[in-house]
Amino acid sequence: MWTWFYKLASPPYVYGVAAALIPWLLGGAALAMVYGLIAGLAIAPPDYQQGEAYRMIYVHVPSAVLSLTIYTVMAAASAVALIWRIKVGHAVSAAAAPIGASFTLLALVTGSLWGRPMWGTYWAWDPRLTSELILLFLYVGVMSLRSAFEDPSRGDRAAALLATVGVVNVPIVHFSVVWWNSLHQGATIVRLGAPKMPGSMLWPLLSMWLGFMLFFAAVLCIRLQGEVLNRERQSTWVREAVKS
């Protein structure tokens, strides 16, 4: 049962699996996003309170959820790499970091553009916005630490430790709207009980979320191929893989 886990520890296996998955992931992402955008922008009705402005939810929420998910993936891969000394974990972590940082930036910018018409300000020092900004700093810190070392494997391990330590921020971001008085809306979907959103608005949102996840997986695979090659440059399997 655990053979798939052991296989994933092998760099050439991961390289091959990533290569095979990329077109499927990109295709699935495109389908999900096309449906999500059409249904979300054109078919879903305007909101009672926010009018047409609420449609920014279709990029803001998926990007925010992705920013947290990607950090968790990065931290989990780092922890696996540190504890079981599986080098592929470092490759996954290094590949995920820039993608996660870009989605965090996207969440902050889309949130800012949404905040201006709704709250009257582009920015507020609100618990959720502040903790999301801290998340961006954590991503940048992990990437900077990795690149600061001349020895790449030492850089990998240092960045892995930092990523693991920083994962405490992820629940802080998620629960910030519960623990503190926040300007930001509370949990609408990931909560006990039924989601607080009507189906016509919810399905495009879930579709965009799925699309973003598949897109992340695709880009991760592309970057992972590069990261694996960089770490295994001297191996014989690389010669075969690169000849084609």
Partner 1 sequence: MISSSFWAMGGYARYVWPCFAFACLVLAWNLWAARRFRVAAQLRARRAMEMAAVEET
Partner 2 sequence: MSVGALEAFALVVRRELCLSFRRPDQLLQPLVFFLIVTTLFPLGLSLQLSLLRDMAPGVLWVAALLSSLLSLDSLFKSDADDGTLEQLALCGQGLTVIVVAKTFAHWLVTGAALVLASPVVGTALGIPGSAFPTMMLSLGLGTLTLSWLGAIGAGLTVGLKRGNVLLSLIVLPLAMPLLIFGAGATDRAISGTPAAGALYFLAALCVFTCTLAPFAATVALRITLE
Query: Which residues in this chain contact partner 1 in the complex, by CB under 8 A?
Result: 41-42, 46, 51-53, 55-56, 59-60, 63, 98-99, 102-103, 105-106, 109-110, 113-114, 116-117, 215, 219, 222-223, 225-227, 229-230, 233-234, 238-239, 241-242
| Residue placing its CB nearer to partner 1 in the complex, 55 or 146 | 55
Q: How far is the CB of 93 from partner 2 (least distance, A)?
A: 14
Residue 46 binding partner per list partner 2, partner 1, none, with a CB distance cut-off of 5 to 8 Å that depends on partner kind: partner 1
Single-letter code of the amino acid located at 232:
E
| Residue placing its CB nearer to partner 2 in the complex, 144 or 200 | 144
Q: How far is the CB of 134 from partner 2 (least distance, A)?
A: 5
List CB contacts of 244: < 8 A, sequence separation 6 or more.
none
Contact set with partner 2 (CB under 8 A)? 82, 130, 134, 137-138, 140-141, 144-145, 148-149, 154, 157-158, 161-162, 164-166, 169, 172
CA atoms within 13 A on the CB side of 194: 5
The DSSP code for 233 is T
End-to-end Cα, the chain, rounded Å: 33
Instruction: Kindly state the tokens that stand for 187.
Output: 């949990």
Single-letter code of the amino acid located at 57:
I
| Residue placing its CB nearer to partner 2 in the complex, 126 or 218 | 126
Instruction: Kindly state the tokens that stand for 2.
Output: 């655990």
Residue 78 binding partner per list partner 2, partner 1, none, with a CB distance cut-off of 5 to 8 Å that depends on partner kind: none
Instruction: Kindly state the tokens that stand for 8.
Output: 């994933």
Q: How far is the CB of 154 from partner 2 (least distance, A)?
A: 6
Q: What totals of helices (H) and strands (E) does the chain contain, helices first?
A: 9, 0
Q: How far is the CB of 202 from partner 1 (least distance, A)?
A: 19
Q: How far is the CB of 16 from partner 1 (least distance, A)?
A: 14
| Residue 160: φ, ψ to 5° | -65, -40
Task: Determine whether 33 is exposed, middle or buried from the number of CB atoms within 10 Å of its CB (0-12, 13-18, 19+).
Answer: buried
